[in-house]
Amino acid sequence: MAAAPKSMHRSSSRPQLDVSGAAIQGNLEERDPSILLPNQSDDISHLALDIGGSLIKLVYFSRHADHSNNDKRKKSLKERLGISNGNRRSYPILGGRLHFVKFETRKLNECLDFISSKQLHRGGIDLHTWHSPDDNAIIKATGGGAYKFADLFKERLGVSIDKEDEMDCLVAGANFLLKAIRHEAFTHMEGQKEFVQIDHNDLFPYLLVNIGSGVSMIKVDGDGSFQRVSGTNVGGGTYWGLGRLLTKCKSFDELLELSQRGDNRVIDMLVGDIYGGMDYSKIGLSASTIASSFGKTISENKEPSDYRPEDISLSLLRMISYNIGQISYLNALRYGIKRIFFGGFFIRGHAYTMDTISFAIHFWSKGQAQAMFLRHEGFLGALGAFMSYEKHGLDDLMAHHLVERFPMGAPYMGGMIHGPPLGDLNEKISWMEKFVRKGTEITAPVPMCPPGTTGVGGFERPSSKGDTLRSDASAAFNVGVLHLVPTLEVFPLLADPKTYEPNTINLSDHSELEYWFTVLSEHMSDIVDKAVASEGGTDDAKRRGDAFAHAFSAHLARLMEEPAAYGKFGLANLLELREECLREFQFMDAYKTIKQRENEASLAVLQDLLMELDSMSEEARLLSLIEGVLAANIFDWGSCACVDLYHKGTIIEIYRMSRKKMRRPWRVDGFDNFKERLLGSGDEKPKTHKRALLFVDNSGADIVLGMLPLARELLRRGTEVILVANSLPALNDVTAMEIPEIVAEAAKHCDILRKAAEAGGLLVDAMVNIQDGAVENYASAPLMVVENGCGSPCLDFRQVNSELAAVAKDADLVVLEGMGRALHTNFNARFKCDTLKLAMVKNQRLAEKLVQGNIFDCVCRFEPAV
């Protein structure tokens, strides 16, 4: 039933720009009309580079052709709901993906091969002014290498490098990240990462401290408005240079790694060394405070070789980090700045370095100023160079337009390339197989230990001793691919979008992470079986199934090791990651057959259910309908406990059993309030809801015997109903694309549903002859379907499809159904309209934590409009 949407086409071949048949789309008068490339099947790209002394950072944008406008059903729905494309037909932002990739500068050739194989240099095309790629193609680049290697780029790729000022780029990159990415900035204190939500309207001024070989301190006052106010020659180069002289280390990372095992007390003179182990409390210095970096070495009769390289490295790291922290603080003080962002290659996500800098800022400012770090800090320059394209298409980008994805495998890792660039899925799987066979880095279960701390006040030696420093290659996992989706919007009925947090469970609590890690690991083989079976169980499907399992395990292991590795990450993200990972290995709908089978079985008994309902009083019917939704929510192939149940009986048997067990009061029971709102109490006749949005969950009994009968009741009462379903499959959830067929079947047994579906344009065949504007002639309130814009079992109301956002404006009732959408996410969310949250809790631990109950307890929570 569910054909894969066209936008999920398989990208395999190299992008070749096919400009034949190019045409301006829509209004020619418009300033920046979009250009349609009817024959362009793959990516169109922009590329920008930051070529530093040790690393080349690459940012490129790829744009997929958008076929979504051709959907007949969507067009008719838009007409019916009066959603015009008029003012947003041509989105100011281009949909596409922003990729982040790194190479070592000494492997420049690999970088050139990569660019060439993906034809990124040929995509340096201005989509608006429509300059086709030619011999004069240019690439924007910053960093010293833009000068040093310009000739090589011309020779190898035939492109000219357009050099951009490094400082301009840093600032443009930082401004873009801080405005467009929700949790880009974070603090790092005593081993704990805390993501910070920056208020766009209160961003400036800030101090940007870029720690490269040397250090620049830049006061940023706005876009393109900044001043380099200070700097220091004691920076990353000093650490590496002195470190090399003193320890014979071969690389910066090796030196940093050594520091992890170091003890600086052997080298540094501490206050306690001077005061016989005592604090100098009169001026607030503890015994462990460093009085003089390297000071202890002067009073001992030791040779340099008597000192351990580990200890030297740590002393050096602390000396330089504190010094930078102190100078930064003084400059912040000088200009009255509270926020200091640190970036540059010296930091490279190293926990101890960040802790040390944070401590210094905190210490000197007495807690008044805050050191912050950026997830994409390594890409500031390259991003800035990208922004310097005259029309980069990212000007109006907002956080809700961006979705970060973490595809597996080079070169998609947003980091170092392991081997040659990958062309297609087959190469990717081979790479995965090799990578996994070669080492166990990404599959081995990682020891579960809480993140290390740096000890009291950051002045003790690091207790994270023994943890391995993540190499740059694996740290690269931290940066995903940014999907730019201009059709996403904030759900307008959120009571307070600023404080809205979708996730109910906080995964930064290590025991939670551990628990869900285990649940998802245990569910892996079942999901792989279903996925492989959905593709006919072929050898190719089995191979992809294995690759999926490896990839998802690798993600889990990475997150166990560093819960904040992918930014602010909740249970909803974890569940979505699994779906994305399935799609990455081209399992478009793993539960396809199961869903079909269950839809059919449920549709077969629908008529009986409707007859039974119709014989009841209004009040009894309403209760029975809610019971029906809760009971049918038991059909959930994502819950281990439920999957066990399915071995014990047929769908209808389980459904009947589940209904029979319904006992009020439910664990959370707001039914009486809901009933009163709908039916009124005493003589009072309440106002009928105008439009209800029903966020549906699973296929089969859940939609057919649960949500559809509820929708029917609302329709019968004169409320317009919009069924809101997933855009893409997730577990056994029903998708928006599948619903019309289900409704058409159901309508065969029910006049109310048939009329409503016809009025809503759901029965395409029946509505073929309906003229525009004829909708009003229908006596029935319409039943419609809108997609939510996502492919996950959960829902983040900060990023929903723009059509949903448009229809929500007139809605006065929201029904959220299922564990994913009403418990894991949105349990605590408040809306501007009446809200009903319905779910069966199919997990013992969640039942205990959330509602102090037990598995299979039910939640019926009614919240009147805020």
Ligand X SMILES: CC(C)(COP(=O)(O)O)[C@@H](O)C(=O)NCCC(=O)O
Q: Residue 702: what residue type?
A: D
Q: How far is the CB of 175 from ligand X (least distance, A)?
A: 38
Distance CA 38, CA 267 (A): 68
Nearest to 207 by CA among 196, 188, 220: 220
Specify whether the CB–CB gap between 734 and 593 falls below 8 A: no
The reply to whether 818 sits near ligand X by the rule CB under 6 A is yes
Q: How far is the CB of 526 from ligand X (least distance, A)?
A: 10
Which CB atom, from 486 or from 818, has the smaller least distance to Mn ion?
A: 818
Of the pair 443, 639, the CB lying nearest ligand X is at 639
Per partner kind, with CB cut-offs from 5 to 8 A, the member of ligand X, Mn ion, none near residue 819 is: ligand X
Residues 803-822 that bind Mn ion (CB under 5 A): 818
Task: Please state, as a whole number, how many other Cβ atoms lie within 10 Å of the Cβ of residue 641.
Answer: 13
* Cβ at position 691, least distance to Mn ion in Å: 24
| Torsion (CA) 341, 346, 348, 354 in degrees, nearest 10 | -50
| DSSP state for residue 22 in the 8-state scheme | -
Task: Please identify, using beta-carbon distances, which residue of 589 and 697 lies nearer to ligand X.
Answer: 697
Q: Which of 40, 313, 356, 639 binds ligand X (CB under 6 A)?
A: 639
Residues 556 and 577: their CA atoms lie apart, in Å, by 10
- Whose CA is closest to 352, among 457, 260, 264? 260
Is 80 a residue that touches ligand X (CB under 6 A)?
A: no
Pick what 328 binds: ligand X, Mn ion, none; C-beta below 5 to 8 Å, kind-dependent: none
What HEC string does 164-192 produce?
CCHHHHHHHHHHHHHHHCCCCEEEEECCE
Interface with Mn ion by CB under 5 A: which range of 53-61, 286-294, 425-433, 790-798? 790-798
Amino acid symbol at 530: K
Near ligand X by CB under 6 A: residue from 641, 764, 774, 866: 641
Minimum separation from the CB atom of position 707 to Mn ion (A): 12
CB-CB contact of 557 with 442 (8 Å): yes
Residue 640 binds which one of ligand X, Mn ion, none, with CB within 5 to 8 A depending on kind? ligand X
> Among residue numbers 789 through 808, which ones bind ligand X (CB under 6 A)?
793
Using CB under 5 A, which of the segments 42-50, 231-239, 691-699, 750-758 binds Mn ion? 691-699
CB-nearer residue toward Mn ion: 381 or 818: 818
CB nearer Mn ion, residue 480 or residue 729 = 729
Residue 780: how many CB atoms within 10 A of its CB? Answer: 19
For residue 579, state whether it binds ligand X (rule: CB under 6 A).
no
To the nearest whole angstrom, how small is the minimum distance from the Cβ of residue 639 to Mn ion? 9
Nearer to Mn ion, 377 or 733 (CB): 733
* Residues 732-751 within binding reach of Mn ion (CB under 5 A): 733
Site for ligand X in 591-630 (CB under 6 A): none
723, interface contact from ligand X, Mn ion, none, CB < 5-8 Å by kind: none
Both tokens of residue 124? 């340096």
Supply the DSSP string of 633-691, one letter for each residue: TT--TT-HHHHHHTTSS-HHHHHHHHHHT--SSPSEE-HHHHHHHHH-STT--PPPPSE
**Chain Cα centroid distance, residue 506:** 15
Q: Is 213 in the site for ligand X (CB under 6 A)?
A: no
Length of the chain: 866
Select from 150-158, 361-369, 636-644, 711-719 the region that touches ligand X (CB under 6 A). 636-644
Beta bridge partners of 97: 62, 483
If you compute the radius of gyration of the chain from its CA atoms, what whole number of angstroms results? 30
Which range binds Mn ion by CB under 5 A, 273-281, 446-454, 676-684, 727-735? 727-735
Quick check: 404 binds Mn ion (CB under 5 A)?
no
- φ, ψ (nearest 5 deg) of residue 56: -105, 125
List the structure tokens of 184.
């880009």
Q: Return the ∠ at Cα 646 (arms to 644 and 647), rounded to 5°.
A: 75
Q: Which is nearer to ligand X, 122 or 824 (CB)?
A: 824
Residue span binding Mn ion (CB under 5 A) among the ranges 233-241, 259-267, 593-601, 726-734: 726-734
143 binds ligand X (CB under 6 A): no
Candidates 697, 796, 834, 857: give the one binding Mn ion (CB under 5 A).
697
Q: Check residue 819 for interaction with ligand X (CB under 6 A).
A: yes
Cα 667 to Cα 735, 737, 741, 843, distances in angstroms = 29, 34, 35, 14
Nearest distance, CB of residue 803 and ligand X, angstroms: 22
Q: 156 by DSSP, 3-state: which?
A: helix
Task: Decide whether 100 or 587 has the Cβ nearer to Mn ion.
Answer: 587
**Binding of ligand X by 706 (CB under 6 A):** no
**Whole-number minimum distance, CB 734 to ligand X, in Å?**
10
Q: Give me the least distance between CB of 846 and ligand X, in Å please.
A: 7
| Sequence letter at residue 251 | S
Strand, coil or helix: what is 225? strand
Check residue 152 and report its DSSP letter: H
Residue 857 as a binder of ligand X (CB under 6 A): the answer is no
Measured from the CB atom, is 256 or 634 closer to ligand X? 634
Paired sense of beta strands 691-695 and 720-725, if any: parallel
- Written as one string, the DSSP assignment of 41-104 is -S-EEEEEEEE-SSEEEEEEEEE----GGG-HHHHHHHHHHT---GGGSS-SSPPEEEEEEEEE
Stretch that binds ligand X, among 78-86, 463-471, 529-537, 813-821 (CB under 6 A): 813-821
Q: Are the C-beta atoms of 601 and 650 separated by less than 8 Å? A: yes
Please report whether residue 726 would count as binding ligand X according to CB under 6 A: no
Q: In the bound complex, what is the minimum distance in angstroms from residue 734's beta carbon to Mn ion?
A: 9
Piece in contact with ligand X (CB under 6 A), picked from 65-73, 403-411, 586-594, 839-847: 839-847
Residue type, 216: S
Nearer to ligand X, 578 or 691 (CB): 578
d(CA 628, CA 624): 6
**Minimum distance from residue 759 beta carbon to ligand X (Å):** 29
Spatial separation of the C-alpha atoms in residues 316 and 487, rounded to whole Å: 50
746 scored as a contact of ligand X (CB under 6 A): no
CB atoms within 10 A of CB 248: 10
User: What minimum distance in Å lies between the beta carbon of 704 and ligand X?
Assistant: 15
Residue 281 makes CB contacts below 8 A (sequence gap 6+) with: none
824 contact, one of ligand X, Mn ion, none, CB 5-8 Å limit per kind: ligand X
Residues within window 660-699 making contact with ligand X, judged by CB under 6 A: 697-698
Closer residue to Mn ion (CB): 421 or 706: 706
Residue among 767, 759, 739 at smallest CA distance from 603? 739
645 near ligand X, judged by CB under 6 A:
no
Looking only at the bridges linking them, the beta strands covering 783-787 and 481-484 are unpaired
CB 356 within 8 A of CB 325: yes
Binding mask 18-57 for ligand X (x = CB under 6 A): ----------------------------------------
CB of 665 to ligand X, least distance (A): 21
Cα angle 615, 618, 623; round to 5 = 95
45 binds, among Mn ion, ligand X, none (CB under 5 to 8 A by kind): none
Tokens of 466: 């023994």
Site track 510-549 with ligand X (rule: CB under 6 A), x = hit:
---------x------------------------------
Report the residue number, 50 or 636, with the smaller CB distance to Mn ion: 636
**Using CB under 5 A as the criterion, which residues of the chain lie in contact with Mn ion when the complex forms?**
697-698, 733, 793, 818
Q: Interface residues with ligand X (CB under 6 A)?
A: 519, 575, 633, 636, 638-641, 697-698, 731, 793, 818-821, 824, 839, 842-843
